[in-house]
Amino acid sequence: MGRFILRRLAMLIPVLVGVSLVAFLILHLAPGDPARLMAGIDASQEDVEMLRHKFGLDRPLPAQYAMFVRGLFTGELMSLRYESPAMEVILPRLKNTLVLACASIVVAVVLGVSAGVLSATHRRSWVDYAATVLSLFGISMPVFWWGLLLMLLFSVKLMWLPSGGMGTIRHIILPALVLGTASTGIIARMTRSSMLDVLRQDYITTATAKGLTRQLVVNRHALRNALIPTVTVVGLQFGQLLAGAVLTETVFTWPGIGRLLVSSILARDLPVVQATLVIVALFFVFVNLAVDILYAILDPRIRYHG
């Protein structure tokens, strides 16, 4: 297991090289001149050229890429927009987004797995139909609209929860719920189908024939097996939450990495955009590693060989 983890960590290197190269190239292919944007509409051509030179934007691409990578490692990579180190801009917002994504995934796993299990054990009952309808509703609901609806109800009408910003636990409830809604639906559907599959297995009959209660058969014998495919989905969803929090963050003015990314793209703050993409990719790889480790914990048949 230790060797497996080390090997997976070593695989980070090519992944990160690839991500940083792609991010770097795409942004340089995109139209728009960062120097012109920074200098402002009225600036003279000389001012623009001066800025261009100051930030090294006039150097050849390979040199710029090398500068970017060096900057990432030394922490000297500067944001064009804020004129402070890019990491100082990114890290606090990354933390905010991680907090939000973790809260959402907890909501999604708790609600999704429970709904999926109930659906499967009460197949073709009203519980199952209700859970199915709600799941599809959750999956298809546009985040901005759903967010606004909840905000209207809980913040404006009932005045129970704040409509935006962050700070207290009350601030996170609505955004976490909204961001986790689609994942809840997907996890519920996945859990339902894998649970139905597991409940048909012979070892479930064996467990029943032993005299176990239905509750133990479901929660002990079936759930653990049914969770194996669900874990894959949870891992993928977590990656989605990290990258896809933009809309939720915008609706609830949550100062996270999604909003930073979008505003940095609009401002052509290339170093911040590139560094953000690399960091998000890094987290994605870590989440996948965590999923693989969880597999081995859930299913003893899976053993990784270094």
Partner 1 sequence: MKTPLLSVRGLTAHFHTEAGIVKALEDISFSIAAGEVLGLVGETGCGKSVTASCIMRLIPMPPGRIVSGEILFDGRNILALPDDEMRRMRGHDMAMIFQDPMSSLNPVFTTGYQVGEAIVTHEPQISRKTLLGRVLDLFRKVNIADPETSVNRYPHMMSGGMKQRVMIAMALSCGPKLLIADEPTTALDVSIQAQILTLIRRLRREEGSSVLLISHDLGVIASMADRVAVMYAGSIAEISRVKDLFDAPQHPYTKGLLGAIPRLDRDQGRLAVIAGTLPNLMDLPRGCKFRERCAEALPVCAEERPALTEIRHGHEVACHARTRR
User: Which stretches of the chain bind partner 1, using CB under 8 A?
Assistant: 201-203, 205-213, 221, 224-225, 298-301
3-state secondary structure of 85: strand
- Yes or no: say if 34 and 76 are a contact pair by the CB < 8 Å rule: no
For partner 1, give the closer residue by CB, 217 or 234.
217
Q: How far is the CB of 208 from partner 1 (least distance, A)?
A: 6
Q: How far is the CB of 214 from partner 1 (least distance, A)?
A: 8
Angle at CA of residue 254, ends 251 and 258, nearest 5°: 85
For partner 1, give the closer residue by CB, 137 or 203.
203
Q: How far is the CB of 301 from partner 1 (least distance, A)?
A: 5
3-state secondary structure of 245: coil
Query: Measured between alpha carbons, how far is 141 from 215 in angstroms, rounded to an integer?
Result: 33
Q: How far is the CB of 237 from partner 1 (least distance, A)?
A: 23
Residue 78, phi then psi, degrees to nearest 5: -100, 140
Q: Which of 216, 227, 141 is nearest to 192 (CA)?
A: 227
For partner 1, give the closer residue by CB, 159 or 209.
209
CB-based contacts of 102: which residues, under 8 Å, 6+ apart?
none
Query: Measured between alpha carbons, how far is 141 from 147 in angstroms, rounded to an integer?
Result: 10
Q: How far is the CB of 91 from partner 1 (least distance, A)?
A: 39
Strand-pair partners of 78: 85
Q: How far is the CB of 129 from partner 1 (least distance, A)?
A: 17
For partner 1, give the closer residue by CB, 31 or 300.
300
Residue 118, burial from CB neighbour count under 10 angstroms (0-12, 13-18, 19+): buried
For partner 1, give the closer residue by CB, 90 or 207.
207
Other Cβ atoms less than 10 A from the Cβ of 123: the count is 13
For partner 1, give the closer residue by CB, 30 or 297.
297
